[in-house]
Amino acid sequence: MKVYKSNEIKNVSLIGGKGSGKTTLAESILFECGVVNRRGKVTDGNTVCDYFPVEKEYGYSVFSTLLYAERAGKKINFIDCPGMDDFAGNVVTALNVTDAALMLVDGQYGVEVGTQNQYRTVSGLNKPLIMAINKLEAEKSDFDNVLSQLKEAFGNKVVPIQFPVTSGTGFNSIVDLLTMKQYTYGPDGGKATVSDIDASAADKAEELKAELMEAAAGSDDALMEKFFEEMELNEEETMEGLLKGIASCSIIPVICVSGEKNMGVDRMLEVLANIVPSPCDMPGIPNTEGEEVKPDANGPVSLFFFKTTIEPHIGEVSYFKVMSGTLKVGTDLNNANRGSKERIAQINVVCGQNKQTVDEVHAGDIAATVKLKDVRRGNTLNDKGCENMFDYIEYPAPKYQRAIKPLNESEIEKLGSLLNRMHEEDPTWLIEQSKELKQTIISGQGEFHLRTLKWRLENNEKLMVEYIEPKIPYRETITKAARADYRHKKQPGGSGQFGEVHLIVEPFREGDPDPDVYRFGNQEFKMNIKDKQEIPMDWGGMLVIYNCIVGGAIDARFIPAIVKGIKDRMEQGPLTGSYARDVRVCIYDGKMHPVDSNEISFVLAARHAFSEAFKAANPKVLEPVYDVEILLPSDAMGGVQSDLQGRRGIMMDMSSSNGLERIKAKIPLKEMASYSTALSSISGGRASFSMKFASYELVPADVQEKLLKAYEEANNED
* Range of lowest pLDDT (332-336, 408-412, 680-684): 680-684
pLDDT number for residue 188: 87
pLDDT number for residue 314: 82
pLDDT at residue 493 above 70? Answer: no
Torsion sign (Cα): 54, 55, 59, 64: positive
**What confidence tier does 268 reach under pLDDT thresholds 50, 70, 90?**
very high
pLDDT number for residue 230: 83
Coil, helix or strand at residue 509:
coil
**What confidence tier does 505 reach under pLDDT thresholds 50, 70, 90?**
very high
pLDDT at residue 553 above 70? Answer: yes
**Domain 6-281 listed as CATH 3.40.50.300:** yes
Q: Residue type at 524?
A: E
Class of the domain covering 476-618 = alpha beta
Instruction: Supply the mean pLDDT for the chain.
Output: 92
Residue 18: what are its φ and ψ, rounded to 5°? -55, 130
Q: pLDDT by residue (tens digit) across 420-455?
A: 999 998 999 999 999 889 999 999 998 889 999 999
pLDDT at residue 313 above 60? Answer: yes
Q: Which conformational region is residue 717 in: left (phi greater than 0), alpha (psi within -120 to 50 degrees), or beta?
A: alpha
pLDDT at residue 494 above 80? Answer: no
pLDDT at residue 221 above 80? Answer: yes
CATH superfamily of 400-471: Elongation Factor G (Translational Gtpase), domain 3 (3.30.70.870)
pLDDT number for residue 232: 84
pLDDT number for residue 13: 97
pLDDT number for residue 718: 54
Provide mean pLDDT across the span 318-336.
96
pLDDT number for residue 717: 64
pLDDT at residue 81 above 70? Answer: yes
pLDDT at residue 381 above 80? Answer: yes
Coil, helix or strand at residue 714:
helix
- Please count the CA atoms within 13 angstroms of the CA of 289 that sit on its side-chain side: 8
CATH superfamily of 285-382: Translation factors (2.40.30.10)
Provide mean pLDDT across the span 276-295.
93
pLDDT at residue 677 above 90? Answer: no
Provide mean pLDDT across the span 93-112.
95
pLDDT number for residue 57: 81
**What confidence tier does 537 reach under pLDDT thresholds 50, 70, 90?**
very high
**What confidence tier does 234 reach under pLDDT thresholds 50, 70, 90?**
confident
Residue 567: what are its φ and ψ, rounded to 5°? -65, -40
* List of residues 6+ apart from 685 with CB closer than 8 A: 18
Q: pLDDT by residue (tens digit) across 149-172?
A: 999 989 999 999 999 999 999 999
Domains 285-382 and 621-703 equal at CATH topology level: no
562-573: burial string, b at 16+ Cβ within 10 Å, e else: bbbbbbebbbeb
* List of residues 6+ apart from 283 with CB closer than 8 A: 292
Provide mean pLDDT across the span 71-86.
93
pLDDT at residue 658 above 70? Answer: no
Number of C-beta neighbours around residue 288 at 10 A? 13
Greater confidence (182 vs 660) lies with 182
Which of 500, 483, 443, 434 is closest to 467 using CA atoms? 443
Pairing mode of beta strands 181-184, 193-195: antiparallel
Q: Which residues on adjacent β-strands are paired with residue 662?
A: 631, 655
Q: Which conformational region is residue 46 in: left (phi greater than 0), alpha (psi within -120 to 50 degrees), or beta?
A: alpha
Pairing mode of beta strands 65-71, 74-80: antiparallel
Give the CATH fold of the 621-703 domain. Answer: Alpha-Beta Plaits (3.30.70)
pLDDT at residue 388 above 60? Answer: yes
* Range of lowest pLDDT (36-40, 390-394, 544-548, 662-666): 36-40
Distances (CA, A) of 561 to 546, 548, 568, 601, 615: 14, 15, 10, 8, 22
Instruction: Name the residue ranges covered by the structural domains of the chain.
Output: 6-281, 285-382, 400-471, 476-618, 621-703
Q: How many residues does the chain have?
A: 718
Q: pLDDT by residue (tens digit) across 566-606?
A: 999 999 999 999 999 999 999 999 999 988 899 999 999 99
Provide mean pLDDT across the span 75-104.
94
